[in-house]
Amino acid sequence: MKDEELDLGRFAEPSLYILVSLSEGPKHGYAIMTDVEAISGAPMGPGTLYGALARLERRGLIEPLEAVDRRRPYRLTGLGEATVRAQMERLSAISKTGLHRLRETSS
Amino acid sequence: MSALVRLYPRSWRARYEDEFLGLLEARPPTMRDRVDIVRGAIDARRDQRSPNRWERPVWAAAVSAIAAGGLWIAWLVLSVQAFKVAEADPIFGFGRLLATLAGLAAVASHLSLGFASVGRMRGWGGYAAAIAAVGFFITAIGGGAAALFALLGSIGLATAVAGRTVPSIVAVLWVVTVVGVFNAFAALVRTQWTDPSVMYQAIPFGIVWVLVGLTIGLLGMPSAVADGASTGSEG
């Protein structure tokens, strides 16, 4: 998932956290917020959450399910799953490279 | 709390308000959350496109297309008149004024065409539009050599827009428009720039864009155009 392709702007990072959260299974807004806070260690505001959800839905990365008692769960689409997988692999490669270089520098 | 939610566009509220209020009930917002909600509302108003196309900028595209078509015609008519006046008027002042107005019309027309097609100017298509606009402007005020840049810019802009809007009718319109510009220039070259009225051959393309604008305004935007605009298109 290239941010410039999806044009997510300031929602790029929150969107990634949401995709990671939904990779566990469908969740509604409140559950996503709680989970993202646990993953990132920082709270996600409701305006940011719904700004990101709207963009992800529009790009076909997530889809809404039937609302129950004013709570509407969202789940990853096939495209969303492929996108988050590609993004995780990219971040993993960056992480490995960075750690490797740090080890080389310190040794 | 509903007062804050009312800051969001009506169409956004129709889609998300119920679950959004449900979330705020489950987790009462802090002051920081309230600021975040206001920011979210500003973002939603800037980004008024969604899966159900809430408040997509149809009116802006329609007005842009109509303006582009009108300015296109104005550019051609003013250019021809400027040419004729310049020939008849030894002082050349009025002809120069007409030529400058023609150049401004060409610039505004091209920028409007780009906006009407893809919603905003961005990327290399945007640079191509700028080159076309400046090229046409310089050509109109008397710099014939700039016509080459104008044509190259037009081709670049048309390619960017057509690539983004395929398979919608707008892509076809762009190709046809560029062919029209080529025809007009080819006619000018054939007559060795002695008969500027051949530029009138390109007027129908301006009329087409006006009709496109009216169609967009009445019937809505072709889906491929809306998708292109929403993904940060070029042009």
pLDDT tens digit sequence for A70-102: 899 999 999 889 888 988 998 899 999 999 999
Q: What digits encode the pLDDT tens for the residues B106-115?
A: 677 666 666 6
Residues present in chain A in total = 107
| CB nearest B36 (choices: A48, A71, A72) | A48
Residue B52 forms contact with A (CB below 8 Å): no
Beta strands A74-76 and A62-64, pairing class: antiparallel
Spatial CB neighbours of B196, under 8 Å, sequence gap ≥ 6: B79, B80, B83, B84, B188
CA A98, CA B128: separation in Å to the nearest integer?
Answer: 39
Q: What digits encode the pLDDT tens for the residues A15-67?
A: 999 999 999 999 999 999 999 999 999 899 999 999 999 989 888 889 999 88
CA A47, CA B222: separation in Å to the nearest integer?
Answer: 30
Residue B47 forms contact with A (CB below 8 Å): yes
Q: What digits encode the pLDDT tens for the residues B129-139?
A: 677 777 777 76
Q: Is the pLDDT of residue B197 over 60?
A: yes
In chain A, pLDDT over 90 holds for what percent of residues?
Answer: 58
Residue of A nearest to B38 (CA): A47
How distant, in Å, are the alpha carbons of B24, B34, B133, B153, B179 from that of A48? 13, 11, 39, 39, 46
Give the residue-averaged pLDDT of B209-222: 67
Cβ within 8 Å, pair A54-B38: no
Q: Please give the helix or strand (H or E) that residue A64 lies within, else none.
A: strand A62-64
Cβ within 8 Å, pair B33-A67: no
- The nearest CA of chain B is from the CA of A84 a distance in Å of 18
β partners of residue A27:
A74
| CB nearest A58 (choices: B24, B36, B230) | B230
Q: Is the pLDDT of residue B5 over 70?
A: yes
Cβ within 8 Å, pair B12-A48: no
Residue A71 forms contact with B (CB below 8 Å): yes
Residue B51 forms contact with A (CB below 8 Å): yes
CA A13, CA B9: separation in Å to the nearest integer?
Answer: 24
Structure confidence at residue A48 (pLDDT): 93
Q: pLDDT-derived band of residue B225, with 50, 70 and 90 as boundaries?
A: very low
- The nearest CA of chain A is from the CA of B16 a distance in Å of 8
CA B169, CA B212: separation in Å to the nearest integer?
Answer: 10
| CB nearest A70 (choices: B12, B19, B49) | B19
CA A85, CA B182: separation in Å to the nearest integer?
Answer: 48
Residue B27 forms contact with A (CB below 8 Å): yes
Spatial CB neighbours of A34, under 8 Å, sequence gap ≥ 6: none
How distant, in Å, are the alpha carbons of B118, B120, B193 from that of B58? 11, 13, 40
Structure confidence at residue B229 (pLDDT): 39
Structure confidence at residue B113 (pLDDT): 66
Its pTM stands at 0.47
